[in-house]
Structure 1
Amino acid sequence: MRAFRFLSLIMFHTVFAFSSSLSPLVASGDEGMYLFNDLPTQQLKADHDFEPSEDWADHLRLSSVRFNSGGSGSFISSDGLVLTNHHVASDTLHKLSTPERNLIDDGFLATSTDQELKAPDLELNQLVSIEDVTKQVNDAVDSDASAEDAAEQRRAVIARIEKASKDETGLRSDVVTLFGGGKYHLYRYKKYTDVRLVWAPETAAAFFGGDADNFEYPRYNLDATIMRVYEDGKPAKLDHFLKWSRDELTEGELVFVSGNPGRTQRIFTVAALKFLRDDRMPYVLDYLRRKEILMQQFGLEGGEQERRARDELFGIQNSRKAYTGMLAGLQNPKTIATKRGREDRLLQAISEDESMQALASAWEDIERIQAENREMLGKTVSLRSTLFEIAMQIVLLTAEDAKPDEERLKGYTDSARESLLQRLLSPAPVYADLEQVKLADELSRQIESRGAEDALIVEILRGRGPRERAAELVTGTQLADVAARQALIDGGLAAVLASDDAMIELARTVESEYRRLRKRNEEIEERERQAYAKITQATTAIEGTGGYPDATFTLRLAFGTVKGYQEGGQYVEPFTNFAGAYQHGMDHAGQKDFDLPKSWMENKAAVDLDTQLNFVCTADIIGGNSGSPVVNRDGELVGLIFDGNIQSLTSDYVYSDEQGRAVSVSGVGILEALRSIYGAGDLADSIGK
């Protein structure tokens, strides 16, 4: 779960994303990431004797937030406090840190609102409403349109819907594709862009056990951070926030998770899963290993270099471990066999129903598309550098601004403009030495991928080697200065075309190839969407209309029970406590990642060692759920999702509650740490009020 922010970045820039909108998934047991406007009320009543009311669901939805950096959170007080994971907040902690103030290592506590630190570019989204716009979208796409034309028509109508909603309501408006294009929902969000840091523990406490313990259990992590949202320069006044349970959980207790799972591929065909197993995931793992070594080597140059690279290295290492686990799951023959069994049953049922036989071709279409996905794998001109990404987005923004809104690229429409500008004009520091190292490596990768004599490579390098060219680009750009970015945006396309900024020139050089690859990807995605829409139709006819769509980094409700599991012939208890954390550190004495911070050691005598610290449950989560609140039947916060165990890493494509578990920080554990370790009793007292 920790890996989501980095994973989402590399998936967009190095591996073109699959369609995230697939067929209905029929749930069993505690499986399911349910839409808030289609909750499994009958299943909850039958299995758990609980029936959520409309008020219960609305309150939980409005108390939940999405982080634009990748992750989830929740409102926990009437005056704007927000709870999320330390690792979700780490991007902000990194940007707020300096050589003199290392928030990653030392943590932070504001004892008054005037001490709270403003995040440079963080946006939180509160889901206000959901509207079904399926008919509007489908009516705008010609039934006989080519994949290219259909993609353009669909993009245009979605842009019109989003713009009309934004103009009417003032809310961020996103059309979300669900069920393979079977449904399109308009999600309206209230945005909070003034977000300030209130409290964060040391990384030694938040990521206690380091890489060795990551995705494992038992765990002893305080992976939590508290922020606050402001409006008009004052702490926001909220009607919806979560009360905080002061009671410890019991085994077997029913709990709910409200968060934003990133992407799942559970309805992928066997052919699509084989592509993941044999091509995409090995490619990504190679990429991650390369970047891990690069960041490690940069960090060895000195203490300040280590600090600058730390957040990115952390994300890379977590992504590498997550992908290793996911690939291992796909390489287990049982996974493909299970998927093939369901696929064979569906195809058999289709063959016996003359009215559906034409739908069988969808599986063949998906198989053919995998060859094209394989061909496109790794083809990109996006260079993983902050300065280059800023340049590329400015070049695209000014060009798209010259077009009618409905013809613009996704992400550059009027409805998306505010969020885009907040990112582009972020005052977060950009480190030239780190940028140069990353850019040089990306230029080397481009040479390896396209060939040294490729015409575009020759034009990019201008007769220089990757290191020399990277140095020239970084020293020749002014884009580290926010004012320079603003001037280009204000000047529009004319200013961009006239600019001699080295990074802008590079972005202009690759723009046409970027657009070509993006258009090609959209065509493939459209054909996948159409094929999966047929699979949706067949699956719904055979298995019914119940279930849930694949995850889309939008708000979902999952549920499960607090429950241990068997591993290696041993029963793994569902709970850990503070005593276990101190013992765990002693058991690994001499290993740096198991050194509890000074604050924990100095205040050990004050801590109630029996207090629950972490727990596991069977709720269905994936990356993006990091920071999700865990609530009880009364809607009170009892925990904070921060990870899954190693057995849960196959959840992207198959759910199992035999051993797979979601891992949370206990709500009572957070309160105990605030009071007994961090001297933040006033903050603890204000939570839930």
Structure 2
Amino acid sequence: MNTTRRTLTCAMLMFTSMACLPAKVSGDEGMYLFNDLPANQLKERYQFEPSGDWADHLRLSSVRFNSGGSGSFISSDGLVLTNHHVASDTLHKLSTPEMNLIENGYLAKTLDQELKAPDLELNQLVSIEDVTARVKAGVKEDASDEDAVKQRRAIISTIEKESFEQTGLRSDVVTLYGGAKYHLYCYKKYTDVRLVWAPETEAAFFGGDADNFEYPRYNLDATIMRVYEEGKPAKLEHFLSWNKNPLSEGELVFVSGNPGRTQRIFTVEALEYLRDERIPYVLDFLRRKEILMQQFGLEGTEQARRARDELFGIQNARKAYSGMLGGLQDPQTIAQKTQRQEKLLAELKKNPELQHLASAWTEIEEIQDVKREMIDRSVSLRSTLFGLALQTVLLAGEDAKANELRLREFTDSSRESLMQELLSTAPIYRDLELAKLSDEISRLIISRGADDELVQKILDGKAPRERAAALIEGTNLDSVEYRKETIDGGQAAIDSSDDAMIRLALLIEPEYRSVREQNEAIEERERQAYAQVAEAITAMEGTSGYPDATFTLRLAFGTVKGYVEDGKMIKPTTNFAGAFQHAASHKGQADFDLPQSWMKAKDTIDLQTQLNFVCTADIIGGNSGSPVVDRNGELVGLIFDGNIQSLTSDYLYSDEQSRAVSVSGVGILEALRSIYNAGELADSIGK
């Protein structure tokens, strides 16, 4: 699975992502901006010229999930296609002990059966504007790192606020090419999103952890939702028509989605920090959380259901980071990067006009030492209730400031999205919160030391589990009404609150702000250094045409193509017959049991129908749910994963073995008709 949901954003401690210029493009490499598409490459390599209308239609038919993934509009009446694992956060929140949507799936036969998501937001990219000159003018050349952070935040907040007030659209300024460019992305938001259809986990995640990031695959990792406006299905002008034919090897395809982040500009020293420090730290964290969730799930069937979604995300992340680490531990990876870096620096130092840029590499090397010191200074305890408390406390403090001085997530233009999250009606389970919070307090003792003054105040003379129990017993933040009342009361309500979790957030707030400011200063130093690196690469090698990924809409392209692994040729497509054969060859292994709906429908399924396929398109986490389209812009597939060889794509792309894995469009239609008795839904797709 190739995505990271919002619930894991904090838990995975994502790397700082400098959006910079990667190395020269090779093969089908590239995550291209929609306002700077690779027209020449496509014409020369594939004799294809994307028209403006083609690109605009695909952009407006694509959507971003605030939970961390991508999707596409597939009908004029608001249907949206994405992955089951992208939708699983919503499926989990809609589930009850009596109705487990993740495990058993769901089909709404009528509009009134479509289930409203409690806090899901979809973003449609409406426009892109270059605001580079204005952002750069807002930061003084002689500003310190700390002042530069504040000045840049102020001008970006001002731009976003002005855009939001003028358009009513979500307005985000995106940093590109390490600060060389800044673009204003304006999104139409859909906040009334309802579940229409989801298959069982046994079908969506067939093969389980063993098959995750592997190929061949036989997964129906798909879910269909619908966006509403004013209580009715949205009327859409732009949506994808559906190609009813299977793909053949060699066909050109395109992926329109929101890749999360890449680090292809990173210096050798930065990659060594990831290899030796950061990724091992993240993996230790994930393994700890995986054991915690597994143990909680063993307490009972209901506990297993409550922990399932988060456990799945943790396991997915653990396997992904293990693959990334494996790639970095391959001596050839660092050797290749070192060779290119040494060549670039040697050429740079020969040029009197550019040799001053070489100091950026030294600066980045020194920054890695600072990162090592800061690697475990976070005090943001990872539990839903504490997260709500901290956000509520921070909100009150930020609201007292001018908009341009606030932390970014608390600006006026971000307010609606923030409130939807803070006032989500999703259930909060106190027994799960107890397990998570007590573990977080225990982990804080390890990282800061038992004698640390803040740790002692947090513990309040109690053991971690005892303290966590008291905090949960003493809070009402699991009540939406109470959260709204506290937020509406502002700073006065916060200051007078006797809610235990609010009091804990107030205690931790000063250290949280201090650590955040230090990290932002580090990011500013790194941003400025990588901007120089990008300038040097552009001057010496020319531009590659695309910046590193930023969880914003990009276009990738490639061909349907098999590959060689361990001396064996891996075919690019699979079918339903292969799924049943795969299940039979793993009989007795629970993760390889196809659902009963499939077994009952076996005789009615056209077993030769294409189910999954791979292509050479350049994708990364965040692309999950991305539509795959052909030259005509018709949907032919749905990205849901990458193979194990693709896990180095954060920092190094190669299309020799790296492949994007998709559910075939014809496979989704066959499943809807022959397995799930959803013929009417299938008939409405693409219309």
The residue aligned with 1:111 is: 109
Contact 2:642–2:660 (CA under 8 A) maintained in structure 1: yes
Q: Does 1:532 align with 2:533?
A: no
The residue aligned with 1:4 is: 4
Query: Aligned partner of 1:374: which letter?
Result: R
Q: Does 1:373 align with 2:371?
A: yes
- CA shift at 1:9, angstroms? 1.2
Contact 1:16–1:377 (CA under 8 A) maintained in structure 2: no
Contact 1:478–1:501 (CA under 8 A) maintained in structure 2: yes
Query: Aligned partner of 1:642: which letter?
Result: F
Q: Which residue of 460, 483, 486 maps to 2:484? A: 486
- CA shift at 1:544, angstroms? 1.5
Q: Which residue of 401, 407, 419 maps to 1:403? A: 401
Q: Which residue of 462, 470, 475 maps to 1:472? A: 470
CA distance in 2, matches of 1:657, 1:226: 31
Q: Does 1:583 align with 2:581?
A: yes
The residue aligned with 1:495 is: 493
Contact 1:7–1:319 (CA under 8 A) maintained in structure 2: no
- CA shift at 1:162, angstroms? 0.2
CA distance in 2, matches of 1:512, 1:176: 28
The residue aligned with 2:514 is: 516
Deviations 1:637-681 (A, max 9, x none): 000000000000000000011111000000000000000000000
Query: Aligned partner of 1:252: which letter?
Result: G
Match of 1:51, SS state, is coil
Contact 2:17–2:261 (CA under 8 A) maintained in structure 1: no
The residue aligned with 2:391 is: 393
Query: Aligned partner of 1:164: which letter?
Result: E
Q: CA 1:395 to 1:620, structure 2 compared with 1: closer, same or farther past 3 Å?
A: same
- CA shift at 1:6, angstroms? 6.3
CA distance in 2, matches of 1:561, 1:670: 20
- CA shift at 1:55, angstroms? 0.4
CA distance in 1, matches of 2:291, 2:276: 23
Q: Which residue of 271, 282, 285 maps to 1:284? A: 282
Match of 1:614, SS state, is strand
The residue aligned with 2:340 is: 342
- CA shift at 1:237, angstroms? 0.2
CA distance in 2, matches of 1:604, 1:355: 69
Contact 1:242–1:636 (CA under 8 A) maintained in structure 2: yes
- CA shift at 1:2, angstroms? 3.5
Q: Which residue of 185, 191, 204 maps to 1:193? A: 191
- CA shift at 1:118, angstroms? 0.1
The residue aligned with 2:658 is: 660
Q: Does 1:598 align with 2:596?
A: yes
Q: Which residue of 571, 574, 593 maps to 1:573? A: 571
CA distance in 1, matches of 2:218, 2:153: 46
For structure 2, which runs of at least 5 residues remain unmatched after alignment?
Answer: none
The residue aligned with 1:297 is: 295
Query: Aligned partner of 2:95: which letter?
Result: S
Query: Aligned partner of 2:148: which letter?
Result: A
- CA shift at 1:545, angstroms? 2.9
The residue aligned with 1:57 is: 55
CA distance in 2, matches of 1:397, 1:452: 30
Q: Does 1:26 align with 2:21?
A: no
Match of 1:255, SS state, is strand
Alignment of 1:218-233 (within 5 A): 218-233=216-231
Q: Which residue of 121, 124, 143 maps to 1:123? A: 121
- CA shift at 1:23, angstroms? 2.5
Q: Number of aligned pairs? A: 687
Q: TM-score, normalising length from structure 1?
A: 0.99
Q: Which moved more, 1:70-79 or 1:18-27?
A: 18-27
CA distance in 1, matches of 2:412, 2:398: 10
Percent of aligned pairs with the same amino acid: 72
The residue aligned with 1:680 is: 678
Q: Which residue of 419, 422, 439 maps to 1:421? A: 419
The residue aligned with 2:66 is: 68
CA distance in 1, matches of 2:210, 2:181: 42
Match of 2:369, SS state, is helix
CA distance in 2, matches of 1:118, 1:2: 25
CA distance in 1, matches of 2:539, 2:651: 22
The residue aligned with 2:147 is: 149
User: Runs in 1 of length 4+ with deviation above 3 angstroms?
Assistant: 13-17
Contact 1:577–1:611 (CA under 8 A) maintained in structure 2: yes
For structure 1, which runs of at least 5 residues remain unmatched after alignment?
Answer: none
Query: Aligned partner of 1:518: which letter?
Result: R
Query: Aligned partner of 1:2: which letter?
Result: N
Q: Does 1:95 align with 2:93?
A: yes
Q: CA 1:14 to 1:517, structure 2 compared with 1: closer, same or farther past 3 Å?
A: farther
CA distance in 1, matches of 2:575, 2:127: 39
Query: Aligned partner of 1:170: which letter?
Result: G
CA distance in 1, matches of 2:488, 2:202: 44
CA distance in 2, matches of 1:20, 1:355: 25
Match of 1:460, SS state, is helix
Q: CA 1:373 to 1:621, structure 2 compared with 1: closer, same or farther past 3 Å?
A: same
The residue aligned with 2:251 is: 253
Deviations 1:52-82 (A, max 9, x none): 0000000000000000000000000000000
- CA shift at 1:618, angstroms? 0.2
CA distance in 2, matches of 1:556, 1:237: 25
Query: Aligned partner of 1:110: which letter?
Result: A
Deviations 1:361-380 (A, max 9, x none): 00000000000011111210
The residue aligned with 2:38 is: 40
Query: Aligned partner of 2:631: which letter?
Result: R
- CA shift at 1:341, angstroms? 1.4
Query: Aligned partner of 1:288: which letter?
Result: L
CA distance in 1, matches of 2:13, 2:370: 12
CA distance in 2, matches of 1:48, 1:2: 27
Deviations 1:279-337 (A, max 9, x none): 00000000011000000000000000000000000001111111111100000011011
Q: TM-score, normalising length from structure 2?
A: 0.99
Query: Aligned partner of 2:399: which letter?
Result: D
The residue aligned with 1:204 is: 202
Q: Does 1:554 align with 2:552?
A: yes
Query: Aligned partner of 2:582: which letter?
Result: H
- CA shift at 1:14, angstroms? 6.5
The residue aligned with 1:458 is: 456
- CA shift at 1:581, angstroms? 0.2
Deviations 1:445-503 (A, max 9, x none): 00000011100001111000000000001111000000000001100011011101010
Contact 2:5–2:89 (CA under 8 A) maintained in structure 1: no
Deviations 1:558-615 (A, max 9, x none): 0000000001111000000000000100000010001100100001111000000000
- CA shift at 1:204, angstroms? 0.3
Contact 2:645–2:657 (CA under 8 A) maintained in structure 1: yes
CA distance in 2, matches of 1:7, 1:615: 29
CA distance in 2, matches of 1:601, 1:308: 28
Q: CA 1:19 to 1:222, structure 2 compared with 1: closer, same or farther past 3 Å?
A: closer
Contact 2:63–2:123 (CA under 8 A) maintained in structure 1: yes
The residue aligned with 1:433 is: 431
Match of 1:39, SS state, is coil
Contact 1:199–1:225 (CA under 8 A) maintained in structure 2: yes
Match of 2:195, SS state, is strand
- CA shift at 1:238, angstroms? 0.2
- CA shift at 1:537, angstroms? 1.1
